[in-house]
Amino acid sequence: MDQLLAPGLYIVATPIGNLGDITLRAVETLRGVSAIACEDTRVTGKLLHHLGIKQRLVRYDDHASEETREYLLRLAGEGPLALVSDAGTPLISDPGFKLVRMARDRGIAVTSLPGASAAVMAITLSGIPSDRFLFAGFLPSKDKARREVLVELAEVPATLVFYETSPRLTDALEAIDDVLSGREVAVARELTKKFEECRSGSARELIEHYTANPPKGEIALVVGPPLEKAPEEHDVDALLLAALGDAKASQAAAQVAKATGLDRKALYARAMELK
Ligand code: SAM
C-alpha cells in the first residue's frame, strides 16, 4: 500500500495464535497509521516486533476514561488510527464498541479489516450446521446465571457459539447437558496453535473426556441447533389428511415421512386408519 491512509478509525483483526494469520492489508495498515489503540501494549508490542513495525501505542478498552476516548477520536479525526485487541477481531468479546459508535456518530470514517476470529473458525471446523448461528460471547461464570442464559437461548432456531475458559469448561458442559440436552456439541480448543483440537459429541461424552483429560488453553464451544420436535399427533393427522387427497396411503405416508422425519410404516398405518 503505497498511498497514505486517509484519516479515520481502522479496526484491524490480528491472529488468534498462529502469527501467520494476519492479512497483508492488516500489516500495511498497522505500518501506515499514526498510532494504534490496543488492549495491552505488551501483547501488541510483541506482534509488532514480529512484524518489524514500530508504532505509537495507546492503551484502550471500553472502561477507559472519556478523556482517553476523546483523545483517540481526535487522533482518528486528524489521521489514520488503528484499533486492535490482544487477539482476533476487535469488538468480538473485545473492546471497541463504544469507540466505533462514537466515531460513527461524529462522522469519522470507520474501516474494518477482516481477519481471524475464534467464533467463526470454530463454526467452520465443527461440522455443526453453519447456515444460521448465534454468537453469545462468554457464558456467565455463576451456575444460576449460566443456566438462565441457556434457557433464554434454548428456543433460538440456530447453532449457538460461546467463548469459554478451560477451568470452566466442564461446568459449562454440565449446564448444556441439562438445559440443551441431546444437542451436538463441539469443543474447539487452541485454534491455530500447536495443540489445536476440535472434539465433538454429546455434552455428556465431552464431560467424561475432559474430566479424564483436563483441558488447557483457549476454548470456543459450538452447540448444534434445537432438535426437530416430533409434531403433535393431531398435526400428523392433519398432514396425512392433506397429503391423502387423491393419493394412495403409501404415497401420503412417504410424503409426510419426508417432511417430518417420522417413521414411514407408522404413518402408513395411520393413513390407512384415516382413509
Ligand atoms: N476477539 C477475539 C476473537 O475474535 O476471537 C476473542 C477475544 S475473547 C477476549 C478471548 C476468547 O476467545 C478466549 O477465552 C476463547 O474463548 C476464544 N479464543 C480466542 N482465541 C482462541 C483460540 N485460539 N482457540 C479457541 N478459542 C479462542
State the Cα angle at 149 between 147 and 151, rounded to 5°: 70
Residue 128 in domain: yes
Considering the domain architecture, whether residues 157 and 169 belong to the same structural domain is answered as yes
Hey, whose CA ends up nearest to atom 16 of ligand 1? 163
Tens digit of pLDDT per residue, the chain (275 long)? 556 999 999 999 999 999 999 999 999 999 999 999 999 999 999 999 999 999 999 999 988 999 999 999 999 999 999 999 999 999 999 999 999 999 999 999 999 999 999 999 999 999 999 999 999 999 999 999 999 999 999 999 999 999 999 999 999 999 999 999 999 999 999 999 999 999 999 999 999 999 999 999 999 999 999 998 666 665 788 788 878 877 899 988 888 887 777 888 989 999 899 88
Give the pLDDT score at 133: 98
Considering the domain architecture, whether residues 50 and 129 belong to the same structural domain is answered as no
C-alpha closest to that of 169 among 148, 195, 199, 128:
199
Question: What's the CA-to-centroid distance between 191 and ligand 1, angstroms?
Answer: 9
The domain containing residue 245 runs over which residues? 233-274
Residue 14 in domain: yes
Question: What's the CA-to-centroid distance between 89 and ligand 1, angstroms?
Answer: 9
Q: Provide the domain count of the chain.
A: 3
Give the pLDDT score at 3: 67
C-alpha closest to that of 7 among 77, 93, 55, 72:
77
- The residues lining ligand 1, judged by C-beta closer than 6 Å to any ligand atom, are 16-17, 85, 87-89, 92-94, 117-119, 163-165, 188-193, 218-220
Residue 1 in domain: no
Question: What's the CA-to-centroid distance between 218 and ligand 1, angstroms?
Answer: 6
Hey, whose CA ends up nearest to atom 20 of ligand 1? 16
Q: Are 187 and 208 in contact (CB under 8 A)?
A: no
Identity of the amino acid at 37: A
Residue 258 in domain: yes
C-alpha closest to that of 190 among 93, 118, 134:
118
Mutate which of 16, 18, 166 for ligand 1? The one with the most ligand atoms within 8 Å of its CB, which is 16
Hey, whose CA ends up nearest to atom 25 of ligand 1? 219
Residue 154 in domain: yes
Q: Which residue blocks in 82-142 are alpha helix, DSSP H? A: 97-105, 118-126
Mutate which of 38, 43, 93, 125 for ligand 1? The one with the most ligand atoms within 8 Å of its CB, which is 93
Question: What's the CA-to-centroid distance between 173 and ligand 1, angstroms?
Answer: 18
Mutate which of 11, 40, 85, 163 for ligand 1? The one with the most ligand atoms within 8 Å of its CB, which is 163
Considering the domain architecture, whether residues 203 and 254 belong to the same structural domain is answered as no
Query: What digits encode the pLDDT tens for the residues 99-157?
Result: 999 999 999 999 999 999 999 999 999 999 999 999 999 999 999 999 999 999 999 99
At which of 183, 204, 223 does a domain end? 223
Hey, whose CA ends up nearest to atom 23 of ligand 1? 191
Give the pLDDT score at 27: 98
Location of C-alpha cell 470452566: 168
Contacts of residue 269, Cβ cutoff 8 Å, sequence gap at least 6: none
Residue 3 in domain: no
